[in-house]
Structure 1
Amino acid sequence: MGYQQELRRSLGVLGNISMGFAVVSPVVALYAVSMVGTMIAGPAWVWALPVVLLGQCLVVNVYAELASQWPLTGGPYQWGRRLLGPSFGWMSGWVWQFAVMFGNTTVAYLAAPWVFALVGVAPTPGTMVAVAAGILFGCMLVNAFGIRILSWFVSLGIAAEAVASVLVGFALLLFFREHGFALFTRTLGAEELSGGSTVMAFLAVLAVAGWGFIGFDACVSTAEETKDAGRQVPRAMWWALLSVGVVVILNAIAVALAHPDPAAVVAGEDLDPVTTAVISSFGSWSDKPFVLVVLIGFLACAMASQGGAARGVYSLARDGVFPFSRYVRKVNRRQAPIGGLVASTVVSCSALLLGLNATAIGSLIAVGTAATFLPFFLVSLAALIARLRGTWVPSGHIRQGAKGTLLNVLAVLWTAFEVANVCWPRAILAPPGAPWYQVWAGLLGTGVVITAGLVYLLARRPQDKLRAAESA
């Protein structure tokens, strides 16, 4: 496809699946949103999970056709320029790249409390930011040793996921239930935070639950390091999303049924319902081992996510269309995109400033989710427009014809709804008395990224460089 092979193509389909599984991560997905979801809509929040999973299946369907035909690192950028031209492709890549980097910020920030829980120290907003920054730099060092070392750490994280998610989830569900399944028809008064409206509460939960199913595109990020990528990457995306989706829903149900007092979570008295359910079921001895296993899962997710971000930056920089491309495109002797690693780490660390003065869990989830759903929407929209124009007929291993067009329409509608829903400013996603910019975090984050991209597009005109390269 016009590129010299610079990255090490050593991953099989299982390795590619593991990258996607680690980034979607049932541990990160559930433990990040269970408290927020329960506070907003009570135990009934779990119904948002299958809705979001179904919507994301529509997105994967579009991504699978595109990855089958163009299995390249930096998918939204590479696909957008081929579907609707250099300007749209560059903007899609820009937005997607910052979405992944902001996602890294969120994962590192959510991992920080588990570090404090492991050592038994109460965190402050400032120390949370400092530890999260340390996690990002540590993950950068691991990634710098290349895809094989990264794959090894990711495999360790998946083993931790198996313990913390699958085994613990089944044990809670089968042996430690405190409530009946009728619990999931109750909100326990949580809708009062949304003005007494259960509809508004459910919309807010859909926004939060979106965070749980957004990492499958990491399989695309490592496409140029995967053998037979045109066939294997689409399969890996489906396996990653569906396997994580089943585990997340299983654990959300198990934790709610095993929790001794769901009303305390709704009232904001229990800020870690997952750990409470585990310790009350298995006993106090399980506290530290459980925290350690969960922390390993978070770190694996952070490493895999950061690896994907670095490869996305590398994809833009090797075409000379990213700021400081000369330095960002560098690959070290271990065939790791070291320039992209440094650039993505710096950007991810800068976003941690959002939580410097007040706890920012809900706000960072909103930023990460909004920034990620926007490129989902742009890619789905580009694919649909190109189909309807007749300028793109899928020619990879996956070709769905008229059914693909219908599913593409539904993917555009779903992602457009979720972008608007996540960006909607909600005070309930920020702690009481939080600064205004946390309430508006989703809209501000996407607005800043889009504005900066448009300024760069007009000032530096990277699209001209892409057109010249295509003509040559």
Structure 2
Amino acid sequence: MSAPADDAARLEALGYRQELRRSLTVLGNISMGFAVVSPVVGLYAVAQVGMSIAGTAWVWALPVCLLGQALVVCVYSELASQWPLAGGAYQWSRRLASPGFAWLSGWMWQFAVMFANTTVAYLASPWVFALFGATPTPAELVLVSLGFMLFCTLVNAYGINFLRWFVSLGIAAEAVASVLVGLSLLLVFRRHGFSLLTDTLGAPAALGTTDVKAFLAVIAVGGWAFIGFDACVSTAEETKDAARQVPRAMWWALLSVGAVVILNAVSVELAHPNPADVVAGKDLDPVTTAVVGAFGGWAEKPFVVVVLISFTACLMASQGGAARGLYSLARDDVFPFSRQVRRVNRHKAPIGGLVAATLVSCAALPLGLKSAAMGSLITFGSAATFVPFFLLTLVALVARLRGGWKPSGEVSYGRFGTLLNALAVLWTGLEVVNICWPRAILAPVGAPWYQVWAALLGVGIVTLAGLGYLLARRPDRRMRDTATTGGDHTDELAPAVH
């Protein structure tokens, strides 16, 4: 299917020709964002940690995180409507800031997404064994994680339409199951009064911390549940009328997932037979406990299937986003092995970026052989995701204040845009510090020091690696060249970056 004339013309005006298949409607774009944010994956990632730190009062961190991320979407909406390009963080920064800063932002975002894919694949693998009632070894978990990764790569390789079909099927099952289960737990199987939602159950005192510090720690964790909306941007060059539809899709993805996550978080707590067991460390899976306790043992296997579907759809969509981000960098010839990474196959899928993203994600899987190392990667993934949020909102704010950028796309918040942008900088900056702050209470008991410091160490290592490549290969100079030539690196004979 050829791209609509206005979309192709807009892309050409931005310096690129249409290479990917532009066939997504706004619903297809929403599905990408919904799958990556994923209410089931997000809830599983934060529920047990939140309850163990702040008791059942932890749920109040979720609306705080949702509001903060809504501020980020405000900025993203203005940027995406003006420059509807794959690889948003990199593409937008190179139009608002210095080439070096923009390149480093894109580098950070790419590695955050690729290592997040490692985490999702690893967290999905235990559910395969749960389906058959088996207890896996660390090596078996890593092998199954590899299988997940390769399966999702194969689906992505067949192009956006095939990917959309799989992802849409997954989120349909996830959305229906999440809403029905959440409402049933809340309206039919509720065991506790709503006053439970303000009770810390003595969790902060048991950990030797204060209620305020515990709540800040939960906000650091809770932000992870609302970070995938930028997947809508990754498929901007495959979305019809992208300048209008991508901002809409981001809002729908964030708010719909946010509503489902909060609904289910509250429902799980109020239907849980004994929330104090979670605080005491006796129940490491409060979500499944609440569901099985309410519906009976027969519900356990179907629930595991829903969780597996959710993780698979999340990984597929996120992997596709990582591939398109690499494709965006490589076609500007500013990423290692650009000639290979920028390739598009006959299905109009960015196969070079897909292979590269998969190789990087799989290279980190052996960390799963040691739980502390994988735990460090999970912590780093959350921090590394918020760093690009902060950098991008900061760049946008500075450009506004200097008069270098006045939003001129389909979406503009006018005089309120600067205020919203400033609040987004404040939120993301505080969240970066909050996540990177070393806390023993967010690590397992007896965890090694490097897991406690994992967020700061991980961000530092990736940043130093990026700075090293920047100084050695100077991709920023090629970015200056693309700025003057229009940025269309379509010549297959362009020199590769090694």
TM-score over 0.5 (shorter chain):
yes
Q: Is the 8 A contact 1:163 1:293 kept in 2?
A: no
For this pair of structures, how many residues does the alignment match?
472
Q: 1:69 aligns with which of 82, 91, 98?
A: 82
Q: Residue in 2 aligned with 1:382?
A: 395
Give the TM-score normalised by structure 2.
0.93
1:187 lines up with 2:200 in the alignment: yes
- The alpha carbon displacement at 1:432 in A equals 2.2
1:2 lines up with 2:15 in the alignment: yes
Deviations along 1:207-231, one digit per CA (max 9) or x if unpaired, are 1101100000000000000000000
Q: For 1:380 and 1:56, how far apart are their aligned partners in 2?
A: 11
Give the TM-score normalised by structure 1.
0.98
Q: 1:97 aligns with which of 104, 110, 117?
A: 110
Q: For 1:169 and 1:364, how far apart are their aligned partners in 2?
A: 30
Q: For 1:309 and 1:173, how far apart are their aligned partners in 2?
A: 37
Q: Residue in 2 aligned with 1:412?
A: 425
Q: What 5-or-longer segments of structure 2 have no aligned partner?
A: 1-13, 486-498
- The alpha carbon displacement at 1:423 in A equals 1.0
Q: Relative to structure 1, is the Cα distance of residues 148 and 67 closer, same or farther in structure 2, using a 3 angstrom cutoff? A: same
Q: Residue in 2 aligned with 1:83?
A: 96
Q: For 1:108 and 1:193, how far apart are their aligned partners in 2?
A: 33
Q: Residue in 2 aligned with 1:421?
A: 434
Q: Residue in 2 aligned with 1:368?
A: 381
- The alpha carbon displacement at 1:434 in A equals 2.6
Q: Is the 8 A contact 2:372 2:451 kept in 1?
A: no
Deviations along 1:120-153, one digit per CA (max 9) or x if unpaired, are 1113333323322221121111111111111011
Q: Residue in 2 aligned with 1:352?
A: 365
Q: For 2:439 and 2:175, how far apart are their aligned partners in 1?
A: 34
Q: For 1:170 and 1:364, how far apart are their aligned partners in 2?
A: 34
SS at match of 2:371: coil
Q: Residue in 2 aligned with 1:400?
A: 413
Deviations along 1:62-103, one digit per CA (max 9) or x if unpaired, are 000000000000001000000013112111111111111122
Q: Residue in 1 aligned with 2:489?
A: none
Opposite residue 257 of structure 1, the aligned amino acid is L
Q: For 2:156 and 2:205, how far apart are their aligned partners in 1?
A: 45
Q: For 1:290 and 1:453, how far apart are their aligned partners in 2?
A: 41
1:31 lines up with 2:51 in the alignment: no
The ranges of structure 1 where at least 4 consecutive aligned residues each deviate by more than 6 angstroms after the TM superposition are none
Give identity over the alignment, percent: 73
Give runs of aligned pairs for residues 171-182 of structure 1, distance below 5 A.
171-182=184-195
Deviations along 1:40-71, one digit per CA (max 9) or x if unpaired, are 11111100000000000000000000000000
- The alpha carbon displacement at 1:406 in A equals 0.5
Q: Residue in 2 aligned with 1:12?
A: 25
Q: For 1:273 and 1:200, how far apart are their aligned partners in 2?
A: 23
Q: Residue in 2 aligned with 1:247?
A: 260
SS at match of 1:444: helix
1:340 lines up with 2:379 in the alignment: no
Q: For 1:166 and 1:457, how far apart are their aligned partners in 2?
A: 47
- The alpha carbon displacement at 1:364 in A equals 3.9
Q: 1:391 aligns with which of 391, 401, 404?
A: 404
Q: Relative to structure 1, is the Cα distance of residues 196 and 437 closer, same or farther in structure 2, using a 3 angstrom cutoff? A: closer
Q: For 2:139 and 2:436, how far apart are their aligned partners in 1?
A: 26
Q: For 2:177 and 2:436, how far apart are their aligned partners in 1?
A: 31
1:106 lines up with 2:119 in the alignment: yes
* Range 62-71 or range 390-399, more displaced: 390-399
Deviations along 1:292-314, one digit per CA (max 9) or x if unpaired, are 11110110001000000000000
- The alpha carbon displacement at 1:164 in A equals 2.9
Q: Residue in 1 aligned with 2:277?
A: 264
1:452 lines up with 2:485 in the alignment: no
1:292 lines up with 2:312 in the alignment: no
- The alpha carbon displacement at 1:438 in A equals 1.9
Q: For 1:258 and 1:360, how far apart are their aligned partners in 2?
A: 34
1:44 lines up with 2:54 in the alignment: no
Q: For 2:448 and 2:367, how far apart are their aligned partners in 1?
A: 10
SS at match of 2:184: helix
Superposition CA RMSD, Å:
1.3
Q: For 1:255 and 1:78, how far apart are their aligned partners in 2?
A: 41
- The alpha carbon displacement at 1:359 in A equals 5.5
Q: Is the 8 A contact 1:310 1:344 kept in 2?
A: yes
Q: For 2:143 and 2:420, how far apart are their aligned partners in 1?
A: 44
Deviations along 1:328-383, one digit per CA (max 9) or x if unpaired, are 11111111111111111121123334432126675444222111100000110010
Q: For 1:408 and 1:193, how far apart are their aligned partners in 2?
A: 39
Opposite residue 472 of structure 2, the aligned amino acid is A
1:155 lines up with 2:168 in the alignment: yes
Q: What 5-or-longer segments of structure 1 have no aligned partner?
A: none
